[in-house]
Amino acid sequence: MSTGSFKPKNGALRWFDDRLPILSLVHGSLGAGYPAPRNLNYFWNFGSLAGLCLVIQIATGIVLAMHYTPTVAGAFNSVEHIMRDVNYGWLLRYIHANGASMFFIVVFIHIFRGLYYGSYKAPREVLWMLGVVILLLMMATAFMGYVLPWGQMSFWGATVITNLFSAIPLVGDQIVTFLWGGFSVDEPTLQRFFSLHYLLPFVIVGVVILHIWALHLPGSNNPLGIDVKGPQDQVPFHPYYTAKDALGVGVFLIFFGLFVFYMPNSLGHPDNYIPADPMVTPAHIVPEWYFLPFYAILRAVPDKLGGVLLMFAAVGLLFFLPWLDTSKIRSAIFRPAYKMFFWLLVVDCVVLGVVGAYPPEGAWILIGQLATAYYFAHFLLILPILGKVEKTKPLPQSIAQAVLGDKAGAKPAAQPAE
């Protein structure tokens, strides 16, 4: 494969690349110079889709920010001004608001892909942990973005979530005052959230670069979860995966477009079209759908501090996943028992999401507590034990062997195409 030896054909470009090898960099990281396993399935599209989401959020967000006013008196009006008076402002805003949901859908699938195929295991632990950092940054960014239109859910969501920090012993109240920049969610809060909402996506860009760097050392994992043994197991990224990723982008944009053009408000809460009013508390304060599972965990514990700790632990736990899972086999394909537990975890997360949407009354409380307990049991009990006791299936000899069968044997590794 043509790593390292890249030379642009055009003389001027070659001159430039000798002085700043940026074309070589692209060639080696997204081009023909980057080898990827030949058997990646469509779940490997979600990484590039997440990158696309980030670019879309930044591009639309920068234009929105040109028309948006981060003041208590002006925020709601400026969003309606964007919707009504700015040319294609409604389109920008609907892309940005639904784009946040699309981003989370893509990233959640991306994460569960990693869980299913064991992509967090050696040598990809740091890559995985950087992914968890990105998830945390996304959550912070989306939370603060949702405050900006200054509707009822913006205001009350911000109030509920920032208030959580008051549960921290001794310094809790000081921290909350510090976050608010005052004694309630008010103008200073809105302005700092706007500033940070503008900043954090660029921090995410930085971590994404590290994430990709960490990816390119070992290269992609694959559905079989076995290491690449030689060039016959691989294809150059370009044109094979650029074409496949482009197809994924096309399908994704259709899905995205269905929301933007035909149900732009279906993922939002109607209350957020009511201007924020500190005197009127909404009947039920619910976060955006992507926070619902975490919200359910938060409310599973009657004690505020306990709930907050548990909620942070639910994400924090993921940092330790590479060591909690004791199995050396990566892919669930060869771990029948793990495969079952994986699907139970998926169901459990969906249940948590449903619980998070309902007020904590009656049976929902118990269901929420059981689902929370199971979530932690999956990572803290089942995974460590399972790796030691489960019976796994035999691994194939190589990717090429598994994918091509006899055809692989027929063609020696270094045979030219002609």
What is the per-residue burial (b if ≥16 Cβ within 10 Å, else e) of 230-242?
Answer: eebbbbbbbeebe
Taking CB under 8 A as the rule, which mask of x and - marks residues 30-49 in contact with another protein? --x-----x--xxx------
Task: Tell me how far CA of residue 209 lies from CA of 38, 87, 133, 141, 389, in angstroms.
Answer: 24, 34, 12, 18, 38
In the annotation, is 244 catalytic? yes
* Residue 15 near which of ligand HEM, another protein, none (CB within 5-8 Å, type-dependent): none
Out of 48, 78, 119, 220, the active site residue is 220
Q: Where are the beta strands (DSSP E) in 150-292?
A: 234-236
Contact set for ligand HEM, span 72-131 (CB under 6 A): 79, 93, 96-97, 100, 103
Sequence ranges of the binding site for a ubiquinone: 216
Taking CB under 8 A as the rule, which mask of x and - marks residues 340-359 in contact with another protein? ---x--xx-xx--xx-xxxx
In the annotation, is 27 catalytic? no
Contact set for another protein, span 373-412 (CB under 8 A): 400, 404, 407-408, 410-411
- In contact, 278 and 184? CB cutoff 8 Å: yes
Residue for token pair 């496949």: 244
- 141 part of the interface to ligand HEM, by CB under 6 A: yes
Q: Which of 115, 158, 215, 235 binds another protein (CB under 8 A)?
A: 235
Q: How many CB atoms lie within 10 A of CB 341?
A: 18
Give the three-state DSSP class for 236.
strand
Contacts 24+ apart (CB under 8 A), 374-378: 374/344, 374/348, 375/297, 375/314, 375/345, 375/348, 375/349, 376/310, 376/313, 376/314, 376/317, 378/341, 378/344, 378/345, 378/348
Query: Near ligand HEM by CB under 6 A, which window of 136-144, 185-193, 232-240, 317-325?
Result: 136-144
Tokens of 277: 């009013």
How many angstroms separate the CA atoms of 204 and 348, rounded?
28
The dihedral of CA 189, 194, 197, 202: what is its sign? Answer: negative
- For residue 402, the minimal CB distance to another protein (Å) is 13
In the annotation, is 216 catalytic? yes
- In contact, 62 and 96? CB cutoff 8 Å: no
- For residue 179, the minimal CB distance to ligand HEM (Å) is 18
- 209 part of the interface to ligand HEM, by CB under 6 A: no
101 versus 220: smaller Cβ distance to ligand HEM: 101
Q: Which of 206, 261, 278, 323 binds another protein (CB under 8 A)?
A: 261
**In DSSP terms, which residues pair with 275 in a beta bridge?**
151
Q: Which of 59, 91, 137, 309 binds another protein (CB under 8 A)?
A: 91
Q: Which of 11, 12, 84, 169 binds another protein (CB under 8 A)?
A: 84
Q: Which of 127, 148, 371, 399 binds ligand HEM (CB under 6 A)?
A: 148
Task: Report whether the peptide linkage leading into residue 188 is cis, meaning its omega lies within 30 degrees of zero.
Answer: no
Could you list the residues that contact ligand HEM (CB under 6 A)?
54, 57-58, 61-62, 64-65, 68, 79, 93, 96-97, 100, 103, 138, 141-142, 145-146, 148-149, 197-198, 201, 204, 268
Active site residues: 216, 220, 244-245, 288
